[in-house]
Amino acid sequence: ETGVTQTPRHLVMGMTNKKSLKCEQHLGHNAMYWYKQSAKKPLELMFVYSLEERVENNSVPSRFSPECPNSSHLFLHLHTLQPEDSALYLCASSPETGRSTGELFFGEGSRLTVL
């Protein structure tokens, strides 16, 4: 499969659960991102990884824990979330090298509902 793939597409969890979102890119990119899209709010950048090193943590609560084991995979580990964390979580990748144009390639998103 090509492009950016996110699993699961839908997730319902309780506030005490631990779950993870997974993102995989087959584009040979060096940078990966997590964005959050809540209702009535703009897309918000959460985390940026460049060459598997976290380069941005946009004041995200510690109940969200990212992991980037290699340049093709990105995880978002979720623990003791709140109902207000219900949102669409989008993964993206980009070349982020000298030839980058700043263009992001997005996955289809993981729709999270916290009960």
d(CA 102, CA 52): 18
**Paired tokens of 77:** 């580990």
**Paired tokens of 13:** 């969890």
Considering only residues 47 to 66 of the shown chain, the ones binding other proteins according to CB under 8 A are 48, 50, 56
Cα 44 to its chain centre, rounded Å, is: 11
Pick from 109, 110, 112, 114 the residue near other proteins by CB under 8 A. 109
Pick from 92, 110, 112, 114 the residue near other proteins by CB under 8 A. 92
Interface map 17-46 toward other proteins (x if CB under 8 A): --------------x-x------xxxxxx-
Which position has the token pair 């000298």? Answer: 98
Q: Which is nearer to other proteins, 70 or 101 (CB)?
A: 101
